[in-house]
Amino acid sequence: MLIIFSGLPGCGKSTVAKIVTQRLGAVYLRVDTVEQAIRSVYEPGEETGPEGYFAIYGLASENLKLGSTVVTDSVNDINLVRDAFRNIALSLNVPFLEVEIVCSDEKEHRYRVENRVSDIPGLTPPDWERVKNREYEPWEREHLILDTAVLSAEECADKILAIKNVVNRP
């Protein structure tokens, strides 16, 4: 199974994804970790392109072929990227679940963004202005939306695990 997490930075996406990963004993693939590793060999100030996402696509596919459950953790701000993750599952005939984590309370979301400390060495999380002004395309299909302003991370994980076996079977 492929569980695809999406959502803006600071909404609680990684926290929920890690809980789900631990409960399932799944493989956890986080684009921030891959992008930071790529950035570490670049010149200072040089930005990454889509390399991190392409690396995650390959790793997800390899692990799914081995029969592992895979959890991906990335912003997935455009439908092209969302489609790419979904297409991996479809091409391998494995079930998938698309999950968007949101934080509907703007004050709480801002607080989280402004007060979080990265758990990835060398990674500086985006500030509130960058998060607020980030382009984030509307979804073009149904998916599970969980609001961390209303639900705790544990409650979000409970909801995901309760429905993971009944949705999006190719």
The answer to whether residue 129 sits within a structural domain is: yes
Q: Please report, for the domain that includes residue 90, its CATH number.
A: 3.40.50.300
The answer to whether residue 25 sits within a structural domain is: yes
Q: Is 128 exposed, middle or buried (0-12, 13-18, 19+ CB in 10 A)?
A: middle
Q: Quickly tell me which residue has 């600071």 as its tokens.
A: 10
The answer to whether residue 23 sits within a structural domain is: yes
The answer to whether residue 170 sits within a structural domain is: no
pLDDT of residue 165: 63
pLDDT in tens, 72-100: 999 999 999 999 999 999 999 999 999 99
Q: Please give the backbone phi and psi of residue 42, each rounded to the nearest 5 degrees, phi first.
A: -90, 165
Read off the pLDDT band of 168 (50, 70, 90).
low
The answer to whether residue 168 sits within a structural domain is: no
pLDDT of residue 164: 76
Q: Whole domain around residue 55: which residue ranges?
A: 2-163
Cβ atoms of 149 and 8 within 8 Å: the answer is: no
pTM: 0.94
pLDDT in tens, 9-68: 999 999 999 999 999 999 999 999 999 999 989 888 788 889 999 999 999 999 999 999
The answer to whether residue 76 sits within a structural domain is: yes
* Cα gap 156→112, rounded to integer Å: 17
* Cα gap 74→21, rounded to integer Å: 14
Q: What would the mean pLDDT of 145-170 be, rounded to a whole number? A: 87
Encoded tokens for 98: 């698309």
| Cα 11 to Cα 90, 148, 168, 169, distances in angstroms | 28, 7, 24, 27
pLDDT of residue 56: 98
The answer to whether residue 86 sits within a structural domain is: yes
The answer to whether residue 51 sits within a structural domain is: yes
- Which string of DSSP letters, residue by residue, matches 78-122? SHHHHHHHHHHHHHHT--EEEEEEE---HHHHHHHHHH---SSTT
pLDDT of residue 43: 84
Q: What would the mean pLDDT of 106-116 be, rounded to a whole number? A: 97
pLDDT of residue 10: 97
Nearest residue to 26 via CA among 129, 157, 168, 144: 157
pLDDT of residue 52: 95
Question: How many C-beta atoms lie closer than 10 Å to residue 168's C-beta?
Answer: 20
pLDDT of residue 167: 62
Domain count, the chain: 1
pLDDT of residue 63: 99
Read off the pLDDT band of 135 (50, 70, 90).
very high
